[in-house]
Amino acid sequence: MKRKSDAITTIDTGRRRFVQGLSASGMLASLGMLSPALLRAAPNPDVPILDGPIFDLSIDEVVVNFTGQPRTATAINGSIPAPTLRMREGDEITIRVTNNMSVSSSIHWHGLILPSNMDGVPGLSYAGIAPGETYIYKFRAAQNGTFWYHSHTGFQEQTGMYGSIVIEPRESDVVKFDREHVIVLSDWTDENPERVYAKLKKLSHYYNLRERTFGDFVDDVKRKGFSRTLEDRKMWNQMRMSDRDISDVTGWTYTFLANGRTPAEGWEGLFRPGERVRLRFINGSAMTFFDVRIPGVKMTVVASDGQNIRPVEGIDEFRIGVAETYDVIVEPQAGAYTIFAQAIDRSGYARGTLTSQSGLTAPVPPLDPVPTLTMTDMGMDHGSMMGHDMGKMDRGAMNMGGNMSMNMADMMDMKKIARTLRVPVRLGPQVDMLAPMPKARLNDPGVGLRNNGRRVLTYADIFNLEPIRDKREPGREIVLHLTGNMSRYMWSINGVKFNDARPILLKYGERVRITLINDTMMNHPIHLHGMWSELETGDPGYLPRKHTVIAQPGAKISYQVTADAKGQWAYHCHLLYHMKGMFRRVVVA
């Protein structure tokens, strides 16, 4: 964001991210010639801002250079990230999208409640936008808050096709602030995404350079002793799994971006001392979870996935999953502060600077230690077992409560576990693990964030600001197991990939509970299109409304859905390279 009194922006043509040139509104914004309400939303002079209710967008292939090597990207209006679209709640929105590429494309309006034929998913909403064609989206802006948009075709999202949406409330905003910045976090690779996917299919840990080494073994022996360390390694080897399996695609190929800026460049956001600054964080990455903090500044979290929540004060750090959004309020003193967004596997970071003086920077903190998965993340913990490593567990048998006990052989016997499930999971090559004891872990910050000395936001902290609208108890429960075979890089739901799956049928107007059980060791951001997912966080009258729900490894999580939108809707994991298999069609009729 730039105001006329803050600074004059000079454009370094050698570093420009877009080759088509700024739109008229983007140019005016960079010169400080638009309304204050629009100016305060500008995340960066390099990212155009378009003001609704009518928008014209073009999709083009452009040449970019994030790493020192020119590469082809997919951009909207020549910009990566795409222009910020500002709308007003209640307005009738028209968006004309022209595809100038030689291949089909699409745009999905992530988190927006709109008719199914405007949702932008090829094969469900429409056929997509063919080369040379213009598709006109029309819908009413039915909500306010921070959202985003991206391609839903192939791997185009990975190549730069994503941008932010800010919908201003019709009435006065309940969140009081003096200035705001939009911060889009993302991941860029110089590789062709099809090649990335092909590598993962051949060798799923291709990009994981943080596997255990002899040096780690020596460190573990010093900490735990030789016998226990050897038993731990033996156990993981028996399961044919890695306790460093945190991310599929890592900083080995990724450059992590903040508003299209590399860590070397850094993004800059200005403020005046004494201001309440609203930061709208959007995770527009293809595959990366980020852990975000601003050393020296406490955050008050005021919105989740575009919905106002009871303010959560005194937060040092939060994890933002792929496709999630969080709004925070900060009140920094004069000076510079680093906005530090480290990848969940600690293979790199994106960064920005919040500063009261242009050009002033702050130290960048070191990356946290590489996380290691525990019994918790295997879905094997019980009570006090949570967060302990395998070396601290009884190798002979684990008391599971009541009269039930399992030894390690039982825990790896998927057929035995499957017989106890309420919902059948199709065992076979699609499934290499079932969580024997999945637990709801809303207050668990997750692998790499536990007991780190900072106050970390969890789902247990989040409650909707206003009472929920549909107070009915769910009439039924739908249980879905998130399954996969990591070594073959196959992802599915209930052991069934999308191409072989039947749709999920919902009756129009019904209230259902969806329970996700994550039978893998990876976090999965699950996105239901067209309807809100109201997360069960403890107070049934104030369930927070989310469009993307993070299912932690080896855990279960439940939310309620009112089927108030007729049509066909996509329901899937938002990790781009998981989506092909971990996907369902939802039909509301």
pTM: 0.86
How many other C-beta atoms are found inside a 10 Å radius of the C-beta of residue 257?
26
Alpha-carbon distance 27 to 80, whole Å? 15
- What's the confidence (pLDDT) of residue 240? 57
Whether 524 and 518 have beta carbons less than 8 Å apart is answered as: yes
Q: Which two tokens stand for residue 437?
A: 């004891």
Positive/negative CA dihedral, 530, 536, 541, 543: negative
Closest CA to 57 of 18, 97, 110, 100: 97
- In one-letter notation, the amino acid at residue 266 is G
- What's the confidence (pLDDT) of residue 216? 61
- What's the confidence (pLDDT) of residue 552? 96
In the chain, the N- to C-terminal Cα span, in Å, equals: 44
Q: Which two tokens stand for residue 444?
A: 């668990």
Alpha-carbon distance 459 to 535, whole Å? 9
Whether 520 and 488 have beta carbons less than 8 Å apart is answered as: no
- What's the confidence (pLDDT) of residue 121? 98
List the chain pLDDT tens, one digit each, 589 residues.
333 223 322 222 232 333 333 333 333 333 333 333 323 333 345 789 999 899 999 999 999 999 999 999 999 999 999 999 999 999 999 999 999 999 999 999 999 999 999 999 999 999 999 999 999 999 999 999 999 999 999 999 999 999 999 999 999 999 999 999 999 999 999 999 999 999 999 988 889 876 655 466 556 656 767 776 566 666 655 555 666 779 999 999 999 999 999 999 999 999 999 999 999 999 999 999 999 999 999 999 999 999 999 999 999 999 999 999 999 999 999 999 999 999 999 999 999 999 999 999 999 999 999 998 877 777 765 443 333 333 333 333 333 333 333 444 554 566 777 777 767 888 888 898 888 889 999 999 999 999 999 999 999 999 999 999 999 999 999 999 999 998 899 999 999 999 999 999 999 999 999 999 999 989 999 999 999 999 999 999 999 999 999 999 999 999 999 999 999 999 999 999 999 999 999 999 9
**Residues in contact with 117: Cβ distance below 8 Å, sequence separation at least 6, in sequence order:** 125, 126, 567
- What's the confidence (pLDDT) of residue 107? 98
| DSSP 8-class letter at 146 | E
Closest CA to 18 of 316, 341, 259: 259
Phi, psi of 283 (to 5 degrees): -95, 95
- In one-letter notation, the amino acid at residue 478 is I
- What's the confidence (pLDDT) of residue 412? 55
How many other C-beta atoms are found inside a 10 Å radius of the C-beta of residue 49?
27
Strands 511-518 and 490-493: unpaired
| DSSP 8-class letter at 119 | S
- What's the confidence (pLDDT) of residue 229? 59
Q: Which two tokens stand for residue 555?
A: 């855990």
Strand partners, 256: 187
Whether 207 and 249 have beta carbons less than 8 Å apart is answered as: yes
